[in-house]
């Protein structure tokens, strides 16, 4: 089985899996977001409306009570629900509501500190009534939904039916993805053993039956192994004379052997130290310098392009013999782009540095010793 075919099969499995869990239908059925209208005054009246709310709340000060706050909040929510704010004023809605809430919250805290418990309870009763009135206007169906939900949850069979529905969904999910798991486990077997025939069909069948556990365990182990290989590779490079040198096949195979073991990273560091390999480089400063070099080259390139355009304009204005103008233009072009901008070789060198620092060495480039991972655990 060729590598391209295996990759294609894995991509198809991933797409079918996403289809089975309903991701594509969820995206398809998502309601389209309504675009705010673009009014002729570019939102001046809407901003004036919002600013007036803030100004009125500040003028009332301590007298900005629950009735006034929830009245303002109701009007703003209704305009938002009806998509009545101009697109240039929509960004001010959140700021206005937060400002009004801050002003009202200060008044609530002041009542809590300065009034007795009986007076504060009356104030909170006013607050609850004003909030309920606001909800009845902005969302009149909410009380109906809450009442239906309470009746449903108070039913004696509600939790039993809920549990049964969850089990039915899990069973449907398990059966729907069982063929995908069969193909995936078979691909993993072929990648490990390089043959399609299964040595132990019973063990493979057990793994297939327990495929959610097997797949999650395999991915967890692979993720841990890749992370340990990357960490150990970086640690090994920091001890070499040249931090950007490639790791040989045998060295990488040695790293993979340690990564698959249960040894700690500190044990691997001690192993390198016993071999006489001590730290020679600091990785973070090297990475920072590399990225600064990349950013600097881009900024220099944009500046040189701008200056080159100015030089071209100046050359058009100067009257000179044809031969002289032709030579001078070539000279300016050579100085601007060939001498100042990074050359192709320099760009490739910089990209190679970043590649060596950020990405771990691939198994294709470093074959190493014969590996023997077993992504499908044998139970019998």
Q: What are the tokens at 161?
A: 């039916």
The per-residue pLDDT string of the chain (380 residues; one tens digit each, 9 = 90 and over) reads 577 887 888 889 888 888 888 777 777 666 656 676 777 887 788 888 899 999 999 998 888 889 999 999 999 988 888 888 887 787 888 889 999 999 899 988 988 888 888 888 888 999 999 988 888 888 888 777 888 888 888 888 888 888 999 999 999 999 999 999 999 998 888 888 888 888 888 988 999 999 999 999 989 988 888 888 888 888 888 887 776 677 888 888 888 888 888 888 888 888 888 888 877 766 666 566 556 655 665 454 444 444 444 444 444 443 444 443 444 444 433 333 334 444 445 555 555 555 555 444 444 444 444 444 444 444 43
Is 274 within the bounds of a domain? no
Is 103 within the bounds of a domain? yes
Q: What are the tokens at 40?
A: 């002729």
Q: What are the tokens at 70?
A: 């929830």
Instruction: Give phi and psi for 183, each to the nearest 5.
Output: -65, -45
Domain boundary among the residues 152, 185, 210 is at 152
Domain boundary among the residues 118, 152, 186 is at 152
Is 296 within the bounds of a domain? yes
Is 141 within the bounds of a domain? yes
Is 307 within the bounds of a domain? yes
Question: Whole-model pTM?
Answer: 0.52
Is 330 within the bounds of a domain? yes
Is 174 within the bounds of a domain? no
Domain boundary among the residues 105, 122, 152 is at 152
Task: Find out whether 255 and 247 touch, Cβ atoms under 8 Å.
Answer: yes
| Residues of the domain holding 93 | 44-152
Is 315 within the bounds of a domain? yes
Angle at 350 between CA 346 and CA 351, to 5 degrees: 115
Tally of domains within the chain: 2
């Amino acid at each position: 089985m060729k590598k391209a075919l295996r990759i294609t099969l894995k991509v198809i499995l991933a797409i079918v899996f996403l289809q089975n869990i309903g991701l594509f239908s969820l995206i398809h059925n998502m309601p389209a977001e309504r675009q705010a209208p673009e009014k002729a005054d570019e939102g001046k009246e809407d901003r004036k409306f919002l600013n007036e709310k803030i100004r009125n709340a500040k003028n009332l000060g301590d007298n900005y009570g629950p009735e006034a706050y929830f009245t303002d909040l109701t009007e703003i929510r209704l305009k938002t629900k009806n998509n009545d704010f101009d697109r240039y004023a929509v960004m001010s809605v959140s700021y206005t509501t937060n400002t009004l809430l801050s002003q009202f919250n200060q008044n609530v805290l002041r009542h809590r500190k300065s009034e007795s418990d009986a007076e504060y309870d009356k104030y909170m009763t006013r607050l609850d009534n004003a909030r309920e009135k606001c909800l009845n206007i902005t969302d009149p169906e909410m009380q109906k939904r809450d009442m239906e939900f309470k009746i449903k949850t108070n039913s004696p069979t509600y939790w039993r039916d809920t549990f049964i529905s969850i089990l039915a969904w899990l069973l449907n999910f398990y059966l729907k993805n069982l063929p995908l798991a069969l193909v995936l486990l078979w691909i993993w077997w072929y990648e490990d053993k390089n043959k399609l025939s299964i040595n132990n069909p019973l063990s493979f069948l057990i793994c297939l039956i327990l495929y959610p556990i097997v797949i999650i365990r395999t991915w967890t182990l692979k993720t841990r192994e890749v992370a340990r290989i990357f960490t150990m590779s970086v640690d090994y490079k920091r001890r070499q004379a040249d931090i950007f040198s490639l790791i040989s096949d045998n060295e990488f195979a040695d790293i993979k052997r340690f990564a698959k073991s249960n040894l700690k990273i500190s044990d691997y560091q001690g192993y390198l130290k016993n071999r006489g390999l001590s730290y020679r480089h600091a990785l973070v400063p090297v990475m920072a310098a590399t990225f600064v070099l990349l950013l600097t080259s881009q900024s220099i390139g944009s500046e040189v392009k701008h200056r080159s355009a100015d030089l071209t304009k100046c050359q058009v204005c100067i009257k000179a013999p044809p031969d002289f103008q032709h030579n001078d233009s070539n000279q300016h072009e050579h100085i601007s782009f060939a001498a100042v901008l990074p050359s192709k070789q320099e760009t490739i060198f910089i990209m190679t540095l970043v590649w060596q620092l950020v990405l771990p060495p691939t198994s294709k480039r470093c074959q190493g010793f014969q590996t023997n991972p077993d992504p499908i655990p044998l139970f019998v």
